[in-house]
Chains A and B, each alone.
Chain A
Amino acid sequence: MGARQQHWAGFFFIAFGALAIWAGRGLTVGTASDMGIGYAPRALAIGCVGVGVILLLQTLFSAPVDGEPRVSLAWRPLVLVTAMVLGFGVLLPRLGLPLTIALMIPLAALSGESFRWPTMAAIAAGMALLCTLLFSTALKLQIPIWPF
């Protein structure tokens, strides 16, 4: 873990712990001999904050390494993959499995990887057919198939 990463990780753990303390504020904590449902969550949340504090303190004493890349997110794949999964969830109950798959796969064209359209179309059609036959016909999973 690099120093920059550790910085972010420290803040993340503190934020997560604080969120858990806030979200669990209404839960009964109780005592050790008579634990309420809030006992373990409170202990763990405080532990999270503790971990975050330790990580931040550690960064104070370790010299930052030169040339360590900034912590960044690859937005394009992040947004694309998330959109594809969400799209599956939105379309499945409305369009049924084969159409959803056939629409979802070509989105991969936006990934920036090299590909050819005819192959992509063939894969979309093939996967739509294969998944329908495998999951619905053969395995008999209760997945919507038709758009109506």
Chain B
Amino acid sequence: MDLFSNLALGFGVALTLKNLFYCFIGALFGTLIGVLPGIGPLATIAMLLPITFHLEPTGALIMLAGIFYGAQYGGSTTAILVNLPGESSSVVTALDGYQMARQGRAGVALATAALASFFAGCVATIVIAVAAPALSRMALLFGPPEFTALMLMGLVAAVVLATGSIVASIGMVMIGMLLGLIGTDLTTGEQRFTFDVREIFDGIDFVVVAMGLFGVSEIISNLADRHTRELPATKITRLLPTKQDFLQAAPATIRGTLLGSILGVLPGGGALVSSFASYSLEKRLATDPSRFGKGAIEGVAGPEAANNAGAQASFIPMLALGIPPNAVMALMIAAMTIHGITPGPKFLTDQPTLFWGMIASMWIGNLILVVLNLPLVGLWVKLLKIPYAYLFPMILVFCCVGVYSINYRVFDVFLMAGFGVFGYCLRRIGCEPAPLVLGFILGPMLEEQFRRTLLLSDGDFLVFVTRPLSATLIGVTVLLLVMMALPTLRKGRESAFRE
């Protein structure tokens, strides 16, 4: 079968000694930074980007993917041990995982999280291998109107599924798009919003924006909050779950994996939404829902499986269509562009070794994480004990070096400082910067497709609804917007996020 020969090709690439090493280093560094509170996967990838600069594309992508899971993974470790979710998608894990730790079952919770994630990762890898080629074959039929409609739907869905005010999120997307349009226009060669600053003639680098909005501004927020950190008092003794644990966790893991694989593909989906959805599903299915919040093992297994599957499934639209479903994938696209790779429908057929090597390395990365993390848990805990006064200047140094080494100019460092202040102010007025980042990447693409569509249709906007595929996509977009305008549904969304 085609799938197996492709996977064999992929493992052939991923199992070379060099690529195994990159995968290992990526997973290790990803976990290392992911464990630190207040640094999500986005900032972690942005920070570690420079260490992939000198590698050839395959190695670099494998390492980046490794960093990505590592960061996801590290987040759940701290969620369980110290009730401090390293990133938003492990907020749910903290609910029951931390309670398990307080009952002296920290080891079991960690092992459950690791094994559930591993299972979900294995399944999601196969889902990507099947779905991505199919989706990219479909995308070859897409014309400019379809791509425009698809991106619009993606942006709207991302806004609807995000937390916070929808109107403000739409505004953030538009600001992101405006910032993304800065620089020289590719079709006409004219400049927009450059104010004669030569350094931004080619546009603002995405990594600078991401690092400022997520790295620097998060440090400012963390220092302002001055959270006192609770140190883990529990000793990790027993790692292996009992037979009863296993019987409770296994079905939850399978349900979580399925949920994550589906939700992850949707625009705006991914790890966060999947884990929330899985937690409420498990709670609803449980014979005794009152156990949740008091150390129910399903409450760890389900969401952990779901967030891992969701995180990995969000690679599908990114790789197959070149359209990022969330901010982290937007950063992955930027990272791939640095290495001269453009994800999209042609990526699979043009670069099969790269694509399948990356898929195979995802599976290997998951395996490495299980092997790496369970014995090293003690080390991660020690890392948490480092006072923030020592930690934040180190993170800041990495951010600065990282941003400087994209183009070797200090202008980018100054720009990052600016975006740091901007991001902090945005947070203070209640505007989350994640939709901005998505708009930043999609803005120029959307403009190009939109321009092409209307050029071909001679300015007729009806072209979007007369072609069946784009009409469907526009229909879904409108439906999403209408749904959110209805007060009852809006309340439902609010309570879903509060839970």
Q: How far is the CA of A74 from the CA of B223 in the complex (A)?
A: 9
Q: How far is the CA of A40 from the CA of B50 in the complex (A)?
A: 33
B224 pairs with A74, CB closer than 8 A = yes
Please name the residue on chain A nearest to B177 by beta carbon.
A44
Q: How far is the CA of A135 from the CA of B400 in the complex (A)?
A: 12
Q: Tell me whether A133 is interfacial, beta carbon within 8 Å.
A: no
A120 pairs with B458, CB closer than 8 A = no
B164: A residues at CB distance < 8 A: 1
Contact among B216, B389, B390 for A81, CB-based, below 8 A: B216
Closest CB in chain A relative to B448 CB, distance in Å: 10
B177: A residues at CB distance < 8 A: 40, 44
Please name the residue on chain B nearest to A45 by beta carbon.
B178
Q: How far is the CA of A73 from the CA of B190 in the complex (A)?
A: 38
Chain A 46-86: CB-based contact to B (< 8 A → 1; otherwise 0):
01100110110010000000000001111011101110111
A32 pairs with B192, CB closer than 8 A = no
Closest CB in chain B relative to A25 CB, distance in Å: 11
Main secondary structure of the interface of A (DSSP, over half): helix
Q: Tell me whether B175 is interfacial, beta carbon within 8 Å.
A: yes
Please name the residue on chain B nearest to A31 by beta carbon.
B459
Interface residues of A in 88-124 (CB under 8 A from B): 88-90, 92-93, 97, 101, 104-105, 107-109, 111-115, 119-120, 123
A141: B residues at CB distance < 8 A: 50, 53-54, 405, 408
Q: How far is the CA of A114 from the CA of B386 in the complex (A)?
A: 11
Number of chain A interface residues as a range: 35 or more
Closest CB in chain A relative to B446 CB, distance in Å: 8
B175 pairs with A16, CB closer than 8 A = yes
Closest CB in chain B relative to A59 CB, distance in Å: 11
B410: A residues at CB distance < 8 A: 89-90, 92-93
B195: A residues at CB distance < 8 A: 23
Interface residues of B in 162-209 (CB under 8 A from A): 164-165, 167-168, 170-171, 174-175, 177-178, 181, 185, 187-188, 190, 192-193, 195
Q: Tell me whether B231 is interfacial, beta carbon within 8 Å.
A: no
Q: How far is the CA of A76 from the CA of B225 in the complex (A)?
A: 12
Please name the residue on chain B nearest to A85 by beta carbon.
B417
A9: B residues at CB distance < 8 A: 165, 168, 171, 429-431
A52 pairs with B50, CB closer than 8 A = no
A52: B residues at CB distance < 8 A: 171
Q: Tell me whether B497 is interfacial, beta carbon within 8 Å.
A: no
Closest CB in chain A relative to B138 CB, distance in Å: 27
A55: B residues at CB distance < 8 A: 165, 167-168, 171
Contact among A48, A73, A80, A143 for B428, CB-based, below 8 A: A73
B178 pairs with A104, CB closer than 8 A = no
A111 pairs with B389, CB closer than 8 A = yes
Chain B 405-427: CB-based contact to A (< 8 A → 1; otherwise 0):
10010110110110011001100
Q: How far is the CA of A45 from the CA of B174 in the complex (A)?
A: 8
A89 pairs with B413, CB closer than 8 A = yes
Q: Tell me whether A5 is interfacial, beta carbon within 8 Å.
A: yes
Q: Tell me whether B347 is interfacial, beta carbon within 8 Å.
A: no
Known: A54-B167, A78-B421. A105 touches B224 (CB 8 A): no
A84 pairs with B396, CB closer than 8 A = yes
B178: A residues at CB distance < 8 A: 16, 20, 41, 44-45, 48
Q: How far is the CA of A8 from the CA of B164 in the complex (A)?
A: 15
What are 29 A-to-B residue pairs whose CB atoms are below 8 Å? Answer: A20-B178, A20-B193, A31-B459, A32-B459, A33-B458, A33-B459, A33-B460, A34-B455, A41-B192, A44-B177, A47-B170, A47-B171, A71-B428, A73-B425, A74-B223, A78-B224, A84-B393, A85-B413, A85-B420, A89-B411, A90-B410, A92-B413, A111-B223, A111-B388, A115-B387, A115-B389, A140-B54, A141-B408, A142-B405
Contacts from B to A (Cβ < 8 Å): 50-51, 53-54, 164-165, 167-168, 170-171, 174-175, 177-178, 181, 185, 187-188, 190, 192-193, 195, 216, 219-220, 223-224, 226, 387-390, 392-394, 396-397, 399-401, 404-405, 408, 410-411, 413-414, 416-417, 420-421, 424-425, 428-431, 443, 447, 450-451, 454-455, 457-461
6 closest A-B pairs by CB:
A33-B459, A74-B224, A51-B171, A77-B223, A113-B389, A5-B430
